[in-house]
Chains A and B, each alone.
Chain A
Amino acid sequence: MIRGGAIPTGLAAACALAVVCAAAAALDVALPGAANPAAAEDAEPARIVVRAKRLVGWSGVPDGPGSVVFHRKRFAEAGAQVTPLEGDRVLDAAVVTPGLMDAWTREDTIDSGEDPQPFGASLLTEFGVDPYNRVVGEAGEGGVLLRRVLPGSSNPIGGIPSSIHLTAPGALAGAASEERAVAFSFTAAATRRERYPGSLAGLVRALESAFDTASARKGEPFAGGDLALRMTDADLETLRKLAEPPGGRAYLHAETEAEVRAALRLAGERKLKAVLVGPRCGAEVILAAARASLPSVKDLEVIMALSAEDPLVVLRTPGLLAAAGARVRFGTGTHDAPPAALRLIAALAVRHGMDRSAAHAALLSPEIVRHELAAGAVLFDGDPLEPATRVVGVISGGVEVRLRPLVPADARKEKR
């Protein structure tokens, strides 16, 4: 059994949107006594006890029958021996998991593709999050309670990733920049040839120069390698902190074999924690590059976005990487993918060889249950990896989210 207790995350302070969203959240959640908020404040709120035939993905709790308890909008405990008390609100589900995590979205971030500063290491993606985006609203209903926002991939240095925690439909519990983390794009050379005529080699030289300048190893101002690009003091300071031992997290968007090798070489040389994003060159290439550049394959984290249209070499990558010891996460990779796409990605990975327990780990976010504002769990009518399985309930922000029916009652109604 594990027991809860709010872990200060500092996210609330960082979230400029939380206050705005709290009102929306209050309207959209089925709080006990919600019809009379004042009364609800006075009375001891009921616990929510979710009984499951199978608990999946709960740290310290074996995969099997059990219950999860939320109290006062916080996670309280989870385990096989938990029993409901009188007055508890009891929910039943076939499977209960912690919230799902979309490890790679770009929703509403500033896509710095048109930014005149393509080495904008200090750009904060959290300020690009739009709480009114419908995908944000729908994410909670799909059980995706945590989304990591990366900048667009048009610039070699895109900025600082952020995480957004979702509560009720249409509401954010918080958006926070990730500390000592920067997103890099090695695909920029291919997608913006007019800017990087030196192609990948020129881009890598520019990045090397940026790091050298930031760490003052060569004591000369950053000149952008061959590209005559500029960086602000804030950008250089961000890079300097990133490279301080132990190295921070480098999100490395790289698709082709050459890009992946270059990205992991940079991470290895600068002793950064490598998070490879969106590779499409096959597991063997990735593993070879990791072995050549990183201390161990286990030091590699890879975020994969799969599509049913992908070739087999891509579809098999998550399973092979996980089997080799790399940490795999799933992400939708776009700003507008529906939340259900995340589980479809996991299903595709399993279909093409990924071990189910590894896929659960790649999909779920156990730490979210302890989040100060967004403690959550997802109730399923079957294994979440099965595409036919439906979300039947969501606990978010410690309260039950009211789900809209998948098929509206007025399916025949035509608006126009």
Chain B
Amino acid sequence: MRFRALPILLPVALLASAVAAEEPAASTGATVLENARVLTVSGAVIEKGAVLLRGGRIVAVGETVEVPEGARRIDLAGRVLCPGFIDAASRIGLAGVDRDRPAGSPEASVADAVDLRDEAFRTALGAGVTSVLLSPGTGAGTFAGRTCLVKTRPSGGDFAVLASRDGPVKIVLGQAGSRAPSLQRAGATAAVRERFRRALEAADAVEKYGKDLTEFLEKAATYAAAGDAPEEGLLPAAVLQRLRRLDPEAREAARRELRRRLGLKDPAKPPEVPKRPREPRTSDADLLLQACARGEVEVRFEAHSIEELRGAAALVAEFRLRASVEGASEAWDAAETLRAGSLPTVVWPVAKPTGTDGEDGALLPGLLRAAGVPVAVGTGDVAPSTVRHLPLLAAHAAGRGLDRDAALRAITLDAARAAGFQGRIGSIEPGKDADLLILDGDPLDLGTRVIGVWIDGVDVPMPPQEGAR
């Protein structure tokens, strides 16, 4: 049936192909990491606890866990166990992606463009960063493509594996340090609004097409039954065969009888030929944006100025989007906007002035968190290798007003939330990916070293340590 070929089902096919390309969890055996100071992040610190891993996932966490028979047991001798760090806005491996693409395309998949052999993934691993959300920079256009989640677990000759192609759709409303007039900045928001409206109109057109086609088929069936069927395929074969077996006179008589029974005004006259509705064209981009508007796919806005941030909040409200923000470098007066819009925000506090008045950018995380905005610390537009300092930058934000617990969350659970993967990574909880760090001290202390890294339940060999005490 033609009806089954409607493009509304395309996302299922896309989803199926996408899942097939993602790297499965590599570990299946049970492992218990015990005698550790467990920083769950999502709950209380367990001063002397254990974590059971199996099938690449965390199975149990507590002061004690039930140890399955044959499980590998590792005594951590009181060391710190915490979730793997997450860079919720990274450009690693995307050197070839950011080009001059003014409009961009929302359905372009970053996963198809990333260079998984970028050395910066190894650098990230050395710093304890186990996941990065790859989010193209502003050069990739307003609709910069669909972000993806990558884990820094080496595989084959690559330094990382693709964990999910289904990251938020990146939309760029502005870039850091832009001195564009506010009306021009507002123009970017207007363009995005227009594009969403077109996508939703396309959805409306598909819905209308479905109704029109149903109506057409009903009419066509009536017409066919009553006479010159324009769509022979629409009539049951048995009816067609019966009609064809009749001689022309008998067939005409049969038609007249059918027309009479159908209540047509003039049984001698064939019914009006119904016009087949035209199938609307729906692009993959439309389908993706429609999924965003249904809340099935998240949106990641890059926005810096207050105009851009308010534009993002307005789009979230108008199209009921689930969204996060990255950049926010001039968000000094936009904390309430971000909070009210439920917009987790990724900033990169590299101790440079970021506001038009030269404010210290490292103060922003503390200010936003105090206003109730979940804050993540990422590397964003700074050099990708800066990921080696992700915990240090979080600590620096703590020194500039961000609560210390919030600073740890900024590179773990709140980062996962901003990336849209809080159900999978960011804390030590049953059901989540077994991405864990073994540390010899507090995660935010300068001298703390990463002793071991587990990603998807696999004990990953560490690259040489860069830092020193």
Contact = CB atoms under 8 A, between A and B. Distances in A.
Interface of A: 134-135, 138, 307-309, 311-312, 319, 336-341, 343-344, 347-348, 350-354, 356, 385-390, 405-408, 411-416
Most central of A339, A348, A414 by chain B CB within 10 Å: A414
Given A308-B382, A309-B350, A414-B333, 11 more contacts: A337-B351, A338-B352, A340-B362, A344-B362, A386-B446, A388-B404, A390-B399, A406-B401, A411-B370, A414-B335, A414-B336
Contacts of B386: 308-309
A262 B337 CA distance: 54
Contacts of A308: 350-351, 382, 386, 389, 392-393
B370 A407 contact: yes
A356 B447 CA distance: 10
18 contacts: A135-B358, A138-B360, A307-B350, A308-B350, A308-B389, A309-B386, A338-B360, A340-B360, A347-B396, A352-B468, A385-B446, A387-B393, A407-B370, A411-B368, A412-B336, A413-B333, A414-B333, A416-B306
Contacts of B469: 350, 356
B396 A340 contact: yes
B235 interface: no
Contacts of A312: 466
B375 to A, nearest CB: 12
B385 interface: yes
A405 B385 CA distance: 32
A159 B180 CA distance: 36
B389 A351 contact: yes
B383 A309 contact: yes
A74 to B, nearest CB: 30
B351 A340 contact: yes
Given A308-B382, A352-B466, A406-B401, A386 B367 contact: no
Contacts of B393: 308, 387
Interface string B320-353: 0000000000000111110100000000001111
A388 B367 contact: no
B367 A389 contact: no
A350 B467 CA distance: 8
Contacts of A387: 392-393, 395-396, 398-399, 444, 446
A319 B468 contact: yes
Interface centre among B339, B366, B446 (most CB of A within 10 A): B446
B339 A311 contact: no
Contacts of A339: 360
B396 to A, nearest CB: 4
B372 interface: yes
Residue in A338, A340, A387 whose Cβ sees the most chain B Cβ within 10 Å: A387
A386 to B, nearest CB: 5
B272 interface: no
Contacts of A341: 351-352, 360
Interface string B432-469: 00000000000011110000000000000000001111
Given A385-B446, A387-B398, A414-B333, A407 B392 contact: no
Contacts of A337: 351-353
A270 B129 CA distance: 50
Nearest to A384: B399
A66 B59 CA distance: 50
Nearest to A350: B446
Contacts of B335: 411-412, 414
Interface in B202-230: none
B195 interface: no
Contact of A388 (B306, B360, B383, B398): B398
Contacts of B370: 407, 411
Contacts of B382: 308-309
